Amino acid sequence: MVGISTLLRYFETELDYSISVARMTQNVPRDLLYYAVLDLVHLLRILYLVQAYLQQGQIVDKQILDIIWRTFSYGRLTFLHWNKGKEMEPNNWDSWWNSSCSENSRPDPMSVHVGDVVVMKDPKNSAKFLIRRLAAIEGDEMASKDAVDEPFVLEEDQCWVLADNDKLKPKQAYDSRIFGPVTMTSIVGRAIYCVRNDVDHGPVKNSEYSTTKDSPVLEFELDVDEILKNRKA
């Protein structure tokens, strides 16, 4: 059963996401903005109800969950992503894995951090997605082991991503060593949970800040059985 403090932290994360989307009014479809505002209205309603119950001393976990699912069950902060490849081994990855991903409406150095495993658009094919680890962000100086390559500084909105598998050659790893810096806006989410099978699954190792930020999302939305069912389907 999800506790009250976890639910409030989850609502805070949902609110941050809704506000972030609302700030993108020039860049998002009208229907997405509509649902972002609707999320905000539902959040305010839920928080009001929770506060009222707390003041009356009549609230229990089951009542909170009933309120949530009646007013909020349609919206999620996570989505499933299936990935094939060995680029992220050996850090608890397999050739096939499912990841519950926390959405980022407008990624920037304040919402994703160095050390996070991110889902991003393939810079050479925007219809495809890659899973890589964020290694550096705007303002960081990049230096090559090859003396021929001159150091450079990542510009605004740029980041550097790498595969975890250091046994692969750069061409096989297919990361920033091949396609160079990518824009932060190419990041669509952060991988927060990995499932290989019904007994081998667990949280993705991200930065300390992101792990803390995503913990209520995992507690509230994670459903391993649903992930396994979708994988089999």
3-state secondary structure labels for all residues of the chain:
CCCHHHHHHHHHHHHHHHHHHHCCCCCCCHHHHHHHHHHHHHHHHHHHHHHHHHHHCCCCHHHHHHHHHHHHCCCCCEEEEEEECCCCCCCCCCCEEEEEEEECCCCCCCCCCCCCEEEEEECCEEEEEEEEEEEEECCCEECCCCCCCCCEECCCCEEEEECCCCCCCHHHHCCHHHHCCEEHHHEEEEEEEEECCCCCEEECCCCHHHHHHHHHHHHHHCCHHHHHHHHHC
For residue range 122-136, list pLDDT tens digits in order.
999 988 999 999 999
Residues 6+ apart with CB under 8 A from 136: 114, 142, 154, 159, 160
Q: Look at the domain 78-232 and name its fold.
A: Umud Fragment, subunit A (2.10.109)
Domain edges within the chain: 4-72, 78-232
Pair 163, 173: CB distance under 8 Å: yes
- The residue type of 196 is R
- What per-residue confidence (pLDDT) applies to 96? 41
- Tell me the pLDDT of the chain averaged across its residues: 75
pTM of the full predicted structure?
Answer: 0.70
Q: Give the residue-averaged pLDDT of 135-162.
A: 92
Question: Alpha-carbon distance 138 to 105, whole Å?
Answer: 19
For residue range 167-225, list pLDDT tens digits in order.
999 999 999 999 999 999 899 888 888 887 788 888 899 999 999 888 888 888 888 88
Residues labelled as active-site residues: 87, 132
